């Protein structure tokens, strides 16, 4: 039996967990979400995820019909009921159902949905051997159009780039920003290692400020690996010594080839390996 799904304070089986086809989350992608992980029954950086969810909601003038503490309690309860000790959590808040037409003021009852399930984004072998990825021609949303800092239900921008990757036989794709600089991947942040320095696009490169990304930057400080948020170009990636991606679902995953060119010696690099090991230790702490 699949774990019970939370909708607005009630629990449903997967088959019965349904919301209205008039919900603007479905009709217009009007809503926000979070993807989190549990390790040994504990949600990794739950407060940070809840803070980001409420910020995303605030940015689109969506009032979440419960306090942060109530949301935290609901997530914890749903995790407990799932019986899964290592899981993926999808927390969704929709605008609610309304009339046909964009006007968010003509909607009511935002739907708060919490799904706890298993996730395996990439095969185990890619964590050992590294991913091959491409640079997509689809650029990341212009921050003045739809800020990538909002984790909204409108992921078509990323899906268009993901399709390019898949059609080239790759499971991830790099997205540049409107200035032609490296932003992030379709569902992950990106890091490189160059001459012993860890580099990642800065928040103003038009990225979602990943919670895993922040954990890696903190780890780098602890491990005394020099790390910097900066502007990166595609050139910087192609001449990097190492590259890896981070995300709640992906965790830390190496990249060994970009646009058919090997990165460094084409093998998973030592700093990447070290951070993968240290990240594993951090999440179970
Ligand atoms: N960028 C994008 C576009 C994402 O969707 C995600 C989350 N899947 C990330 C980065 C990584 O963020 P986090 O580490 O908070 O999961």
Q: Is 213 touching ligand 1 by the criterion CB < 6 Å?
A: yes
Do 128 and 195 lie in one domain? The reply is: yes
8 Å CB contact between 77 and 238? no
d(CA 74, ligand 1 centre) in Å: 22
**Mean pLDDT across the chain, nearest whole number?**
97
In a shared domain, residues 99 and 179: no
* 8 Å CB contact between 53 and 64: yes
* Pocket of ligand 1 contains residue 111 by CB under 6 Å: no
pLDDT at 285 over 80: no
Would you give the DSSP letter of residue 111?
Answer: P
pLDDT of residue 181: 98
| Same domain for 151 and 182 | yes
Q: Whose CA is nearest to atom 5 of ligand 1?
A: 187
Domain check: are 224 and 252 in the same one? yes
For the chain, percent of residues with pLDDT exceeding 70: 100
Task: Give 20-42 pLDDT, tens digit per residue.
Answer: 999 999 999 999 999 999 999 99
- Domain final position from 59, 93, 117: 117
The catalytic residues are 151
Q: What pLDDT score does 121 carry?
A: 85
Range of the domain at 203: 124-283
Q: What is the pLDDT of residue 12?
A: 98
CA atoms within 13 A on the CB side of 13: 4
211 lines ligand 1 (CB under 6 A): yes
Predicted confidence band of residue 1 (pLDDT cuts 50, 70, 90) = confident
Are 82 and 149 contained in the same domain?
no
Distance, CA 141 to ligand 1 centroid (Å)? 14
From 147, 207, 248, the mutation candidate for ligand 1 (largest count of ligand atoms within 8 A of CB) is 248
In this structure, the chain runs to a length of: 285
Q: Does the C-beta of 200 come closer than 6 Å to ligand 1?
A: no
221 and 181 in a common domain? yes
The pLDDT assigned to 171 comes to: 96
Distance 208 CA to ligand 1 centre (A): 6
Residue nearest to atom 8 of ligand 1 (CA): 187
Tell me the CA distances in angstroms from 211 to 6, 30, 199, 222, 264, one per residue in order. 24, 23, 16, 17, 27
Q: pLDDT digit string (tens) for 243-253?
A: 999 999 999 99
Q: Record the pTM.
A: 0.97
Q: How far is the CA of 36 from the centre of ligand 1 (A)?
A: 10
Distance CA 19, CA 6 (A): 12
CA of 49, closest atom in ligand 1? 15
CATH number at residue 69: 3.30.470.10
Q: What is the mean pLDDT of residues 216-227?
A: 98
- pLDDT over 90 percentage in the chain: 98
- Nearest-atom number in ligand 1 for the CA of 35 is 16
Over residues 87-96, the pLDDT tens digits come to 999 999 999 9
Regarding whether 251 and 225 lie in a shared domain, the answer is yes
CATH number at residue 200: 3.20.10.10
Among 88, 117, 146, the domain boundary falls at 117
What is the average pLDDT across 177-204?
A: 98
Query: pLDDT tens digits, residue range 255-267?
Result: 999 999 999 999 9
In this structure, are 76 and 179 located in the same domain? no
Please classify residue 63 by burial: count the beta carbons closer than 10 Å to its beta carbon, then call 0-12 exposed, 13-18 middle and 19+ buried. exposed
Instruction: Write out pLDDT tens, residues 76-130.
Output: 999 999 999 999 999 999 999 999 999 999 999 999 999 999 988 899 999 999 9
Would the CB of 35 count as within 6 Å of ligand 1? yes
């Amino acid at each position: 039996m699949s774990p019970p799904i939370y909708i607005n304070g009630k629990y449903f089986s997967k088959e019965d967990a349904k919301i209205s086809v008039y919900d603007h989350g479905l009709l217009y992608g009007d809503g926000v979400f979070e993807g989190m992980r549990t390790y040994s029954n504990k949600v990794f950086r739950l407060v940070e995820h809840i803070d980001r969810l409420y910020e995303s909601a605030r940015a689109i003038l969506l009032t979440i019909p419960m306090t942060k503490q109530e949301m935290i309690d609901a997530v914890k309860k749903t995790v407990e009921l799932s019986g899964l000790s290592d899981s993926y959590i999808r927390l969704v808040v929709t605008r609610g159902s309304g009339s046909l037409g964009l006007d968010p003021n003509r909607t009511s009852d935002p739907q708060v949905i919490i799904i706890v399930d298993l996730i395996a984004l990439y095969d185990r072998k890619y964590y050992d051997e590294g991913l091959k990825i491409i640079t997509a021609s689809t650029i990341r949303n212009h921050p003045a159009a739809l800020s990538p800092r909002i984790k909204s239900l409108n992921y078509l921008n990323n899906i268009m780039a993901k399709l390019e990757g898949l059609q080239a036989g790759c499971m991830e794709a790099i997205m540049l920003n409107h200035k032609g600089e490296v932003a992030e991947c379709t569902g992950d942040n990106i890091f490189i290692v160059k001459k012993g320095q860890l580099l990642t696009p800065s928040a103003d490169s038009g990225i979602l400020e990943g919670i895993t990304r922040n954990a890696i930057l903190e780890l780098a400080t602890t491990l005394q690996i020099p790390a910097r948020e900066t502007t990166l170009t595609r050139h910087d990636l192609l001449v990097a010594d190492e590259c890896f991606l981070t995300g709640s679902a992906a965790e830390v995953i190496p990249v060994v080839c970009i646009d058919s060119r090997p990165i460094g010696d084409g093998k998973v690099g030592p700093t990447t390996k070290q951070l993968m090991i240290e990240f594993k230790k951090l999440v179970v702490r």
